[in-house]
């Protein structure tokens, strides 16, 4: 199957919401599973590198597809506001570093896009799905607090409004006592 056909298939599956059954292991308040993955430049990125900051860890199906592009570009456009809230954006998909590099360059994405070629990290975050022999990440996001705990899980993501939703939730979390 060609790359274009795989991208189209991943896009259709995402569009129609064909996902595997959702596991119930991760929950708010739990430590976020640690990982080390390579970014679009081939640099190793560890979740622990961002301890002390909020992390938006978003999983997405495929580079340069309509929904994934909308979501990434909205994060890019909202980055100045998110940075004021001490937020680091990390995108994760099963695409390779070369695909991530092209995607990041084409849309001027100024945050790491992490390669999870084996799908292991995506699986640990309960975001791995498949259709026949094709595996990809479900569009899901984990908001991780500065102590490395899961503050919020977004399992039903609308790419066009997701960045704003995170900003609103983060503002509420920052205003709540004990945060």
Domain boundaries, the chain: 31-175
CA distance 146 to 86: 9
In this predicted model, which residue has the larger pLDDT, 150 or 133?
150
pLDDT above 50 (res 48):
yes
pLDDT above 80 (res 3):
no
Contact of 116 with 94, CB cutoff 8 Å: yes
The model carries a pTM of: 0.84
pLDDT at 19: 39
Concerning whether 68 is annotated as a catalytic residue, the answer is yes
Choose the catalytic residue: 10, 32, 57, 68: 68
pLDDT at 24: 53
CA distance 129 to 147: 29
pLDDT, tens only, 52-72: 999 999 999 999 999 999 999
Q: Which residues does 124 contact at the CB level (< 8 Å), separation at least 6?
A: 33, 35
pLDDT at 1: 43
Contact of 21 with 9, CB cutoff 8 Å: no
> What is 31-175's CATH topology?
Glutaredoxin (3.40.30)
């Amino acid at each position: 199957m060609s790359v274009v056909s795989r991208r189209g298939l991943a896009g259709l599956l995402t569009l129609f919401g064909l996902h595997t059954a959702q596991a119930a292991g991760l929950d708010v308040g739990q430590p976020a599973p640690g990982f080390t993955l390579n970014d679009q430049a081939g640099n190793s990125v560890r979740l622990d590198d961002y301890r002390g900051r909020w992390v938006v860890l978003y999983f997405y199906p495929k580079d340069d597809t309509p929904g994934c592009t909308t979501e990434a570009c909205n994060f890019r456009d909202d980055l100045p506001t998110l940075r004021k809230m001490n937020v680091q954006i990390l995108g994760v998909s099963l695409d390779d570093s070369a695909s991530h590099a092209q995607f990041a360059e084409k849309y001027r994405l100024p945050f790491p896009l992490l390669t999870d070629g084996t799908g292991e990290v995506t699986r640990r975050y309960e975001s791995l799905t498949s259709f026949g022999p094709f595996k990809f990440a479900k569009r899901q996001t984990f908001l991780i607090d500065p102590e490395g705990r899961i503050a919020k899980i977004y399992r039903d993501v609308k790419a066009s409004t997701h960045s704003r939703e995170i900003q609103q939730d983060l503002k509420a979390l920052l205003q709540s006592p004990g945060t």
